[in-house]
Structure formats: structure tokens, C-alpha cells
Structure 1
Amino acid sequence: MSADETPTDAEAACFEAGIKFGSLYHQFAGTPLSPASAPSLETAMAEAIENQPHCREVTVDVRIDELEAALAESTADYTELTGHFLEVEIVVDYEGCEVVTRMEMEEGYPLMRLESVRE
């Protein structure tokens, strides 16, 4: 796309989804996390991101099995939130174009990917 072209609705929707993932990840990384606090943190993260424009739905799941495994190797009752503990789905609706994105672990890295674009 050249500098004088307007992005398509699909391109704008994908951009919006990327903004939401960046916000979610960097806003909450480092938050203290325990099995007891995981459900309230999932809700807080989802509701915070859903406030953003064009965001239709956010689902945040803390991978409790991974969290408990990390805590088993620690003397603390909590750890800090990283992408390693999260599975997230974000649905954006921009001018009728729906974009579904997901973040999940792939080969030890929290990969954010575009699942579908529906115009």
C-alpha cells in the first residue's frame, strides 16, 4: 500500500487487534499472579481491553497447570504474569469486518496470531 492509499476495513481491523494485544500484554505483564487471583485477573484483563474502540469480545484464560508447575519450583505463593501463563482471544469488529485473533504458547513463545478475517 502506498502512502496515499486508505487502508481497507480488514487492514484497519487487523491493526486494531494488534493494538489491543500490545495493550493487554504490556499493561499486565509483571502483575503478581497466584492460583487464587487468576480468575479475577482474567476478568480484569478482559474487561479492560473490551473498553477499547472496536473491541467486541476478549477471553483471557490463565493456564493454571503452568502456573502451579512454576509455583512448585518456588518458595513464593505467587509469581509474575508472563505470556507463558496466558491464552487469549480477541475479537474486533471494525466497520462490519470481524477479526479474530489469538495468543497461545508455541514452542515456548507466546505467539499472537490472526485466526480469521470476515468481511
Structure 2
Amino acid sequence: MDPTDAQTACFEAGIKFGTLYHQFTGTPLAPRSADSIARAMEEAIENQPHCLEVSVDILEDAVREELAGTDATYTELTGRFMEVEMVIDYEGVEVHTRMDMVDGYPLMRVESVEEPEPATE
């Protein structure tokens, strides 16, 4: 059985999240570089097929808290420092996805799947 367009769109979303998370975790991160890193992440993932929109929000307050009381000027990017939303379109099916921390884990999930209305004759 071939996958449906909705299943393929969800698969594409998973590929993009895997790329985003595993490509960028470990990147040196400081409050002053947060915006440029977020934009680079968005632009890199938006290059991939079927990706309509990517929004990366690096939580600068959390980065500052991580660095408070230390001599360090940067830390490593991990899931606890970012929230991500993506919209994937495959054959007219839009998948809205999100990543944020849930119980200390960066959870990536499908928020909604919007399929096109069937054509009427």
C-alpha cells in the first residue's frame, strides 16, 4: 500500500526536524548570537523540499540563566534553548508541527494536518 499524501507530509516534517535538531545541537550559543543562529537554522531548513515555513525562537533568557554565575560567555545549543514551528506542504496537505520542551525532553510533534477540500463537480 502506498502512503497517503498526509502520511508523506508528516514524514517530510520528521525529516526536517531531524535535520534541524541534529545538525545544530552543539552549536556554540551566546545571547548575542541567538538571532543569527535562529535565522541560519530557519534558512537552512527552508531550503528543503516541501517546507513552507520555519520559525526558530531561541530562548535568550534561558541562555542567560545557563551562563549566570559562570565565567563562560557561551553554552551549547540544545532543545531546552529553542522552540521551533514548521509548516510542510506536500501535494496540498499542510502539516503544522512544533518542538518544545516537555518534561525536560525536546518533543517534536504534529499539531495539525490540513488536507485540501475534495473537488466538487
Residue 35 of structure 1 is aligned with which of 24, 31, 37? 31
- Quote the Cα distance in structure 2 between the aligned partners of 1:98 and 1:73: 44
Q: Which amino acid aligns with 1:109?
A: Y
SS of the aligned residue for 1:30 comes to coil
Q: CA RMSD in A?
A: 0.6
Identity of aligned residues (%): 67
Q: Determine if the alignment matches structure 1 residue 59 to structure 2 residue 55.
A: yes
Query: 1:107 maps to which residue?
Result: 103
TM-score after normalising by structure 1: 0.95
- Quote the Cα distance in structure 1 between the aligned partners of 2:97 and 2:69: 32
Query: 2:11 maps to which residue?
Result: 15
- Quote the Cα distance in structure 2 between the aligned partners of 1:19 and 1:113: 12
| 5+ residue gaps, structure 2 | 116-121
Query: 2:79 maps to which residue?
Result: 83
SS of the aligned residue for 2:3 comes to coil
**1:82 CA drift (Å):** 0.4
Q: Determine if the alignment matches structure 1 residue 49 to structure 2 residue 45.
A: yes
Q: Deviations over 1:34-63 (max 9, x none)?
A: 000000000000000000000000000001
- Quote the Cα distance in structure 2 between the aligned partners of 1:39 and 1:64: 9
Query: 2:118 maps to which residue?
Result: none
- Quote the Cα distance in structure 2 between the aligned partners of 1:73 and 1:29: 23
**1:74 CA drift (Å):** 2.5
Q: Which runs of 4+ in 1 moved over 4 A?
A: none
